[in-house]
A = this chain, B = another copy of it.
């Protein structure tokens, strides 16, 4: 399936764990109209990335997203479009705590009739996370779940970035806190189901209205002192407009680590692939070379690879056609736009305008069609040269363009035949 995005073999847990994602925020701080959790990155809303981060963890059985009523249809559509299977959307409340509470209660409910869902156990541990912290990793979730089971509650902390100060009522400095003694409380947090359930049963309307900190409720109403676990910087919350660019950059970097060159088996193409591999490798991207995607090489269809189809002399796009068909069959562009680059080395006999124009038109047409299926097709043309220096410069330029195309994934460049 196109959804497989396996993490390094994770440990397993022998108790059921579910997740609640409160996603009712209004996005005030980004200065954008769309709430942050629904802002799109490479065509997919942020919340889908966060869901994916949990869904790929084998020991997480289900995820409840609590959304504002007006976003329920949008959320349902996201779950369907991106084929999220462990997820259910429930109506959230008017505050963060009310939304979390809705999610926690939903985990008690019998599954609705008529829906073909697995009968799930009541979770032993609930992980609560923010929809706008998409980069949480399995290792850290494991630590939180284990500590929550053992201690009743656990939460992520981070060092303070700024000094925290107390102000007088007139807006003057009263005193500053000693930074080393305090921490920022972040997400995820984990709770034994009975602890978080009781906390919400016992807490006041004022807590529901003005509180933010689940750890505080667990302490106040259940006497549970949460275990605090230092988390990595990737736990950060997409809060301001600038964070959208930061998140996009992390997502793009994750998708740009490796590419697979398909040569079609020709020796000339293999030689060109070798030259490219050397040049792109120097730019810090990993390239594998294979003759075709058949057999064992089908494994390249299962992971986050980008694809480069190389051809020499005959400017034929049939190799690209076949590659596109394989990628589509593997559903590889479901979660991210996929990059395919056609690298063509023109022979010196190939100077007719008709052929040159035909190439431009053919790749533009193929690119426009592929784009509708979330595949971004670009072309790069090299010219044969006896002059070694000229040739090396061309290969280097082709490598730079390749690396840029894979990293940027620009829709505006789809179908272009770039000159190396």
**Residue among A162, A213, A219, A225 with the most chain B CB within 10 A?**
A162
Q: How many copies does the complex hold?
A: 2
- Cα distance A165–B162 when bound, in Å? 14
Q: Give the complex CA separation of A158 and B248 in angstroms.
A: 25
Cα distance, A419 to B400, chains bound together (Å)? 20
**Which of A347-404 touch B at CB < 8 Å?**
351-353, 356, 360, 364, 397, 400-401, 403-404
| Interchain nearest-CB distance for A29 vs B (Å) | 7
Tell me the residues in window 230-267 of chain A with beta carbons closer than 8 Å to chain B beta carbons: 233, 236-237, 239-243, 245-250
Apart from A245-B245, A353-B356, what are 15 other A-B pairs with CB-CB below 8 Å? A158-B162, A160-B164, A164-B184, A168-B225, A173-B226, A173-B228, A176-B216, A177-B182, A233-B242, A245-B248, A249-B249, A404-B410, A404-B412, A415-B419, A417-B419
Q: What CA separation (Å) do A162 and B130 show in the bound complex?
A: 12
Look across to chain B and name the residue whose beta carbon is closest to the beta carbon of A173.
B226
Q: Identify the closest chain B residue to A242 (Cβ).
A: B246
- The answer to whether B408 and A401 have CB atoms under 8 Å apart is no
Instruction: Give complex CA distance A157, B403 in Å.
Output: 41
Residues from chain B with Cβ under 8 Å of A229 in the complex:
171
A317-B339 Cα distance, complex, nearest whole Å:
33
| Least Cβ–Cβ distance between A402 and chain B, in angstroms | 9
For residue A246, which residues in chain B have a CB less than 8 angstroms away from its CB? Answer: 242-243, 245-246, 249
6 intermolecular pairs with C-beta atoms under 8 Å apart? A165-B228, A171-B228, A179-B212, A233-B241, A351-B353, A401-B412
A155 within 8 A of B: yes
A165 partner, pick from B182, B240, B397, beta carbons under 8 A: B182
Nearest CB of B to A164, in Å? 5
- Judge if A4 is at the interface, Cβ distance under 8 Å: no
User: Is A80 in the interface zone, CB < 8 Å from B?
Assistant: no
A163 on the interface (CB 8 Å rule)?
yes
Contact indicator A419/B364 (Cβ below 8 Å) = yes
A153-183 CB contacts (< 8 Å) to partner B: 153, 155, 157-158, 160-168, 171-177, 179, 181-183
A290 to chain B, nearest CB (A): 25
Q: How far is the CB of A184 from chain B (nearest CB, A)?
A: 4
- Binary interface encoding of chain A residues 201-223 relative to chain B, with 1 for a CB under 8 A from any of its CBs, else 0: 00000000000110110010000
Q: A331 near B: Cβ within 8 Å?
A: no
Q: How far, in angstroms, from A50 to B243 measured CA to CA in the complex?
A: 20
Q: Lowest 10 CB-CB distances: which A-B pairs, in order? A: A245-B249, A242-B246, A162-B184, A404-B412, A353-B353, A172-B225, A163-B185, A246-B246, A173-B226, A400-B412
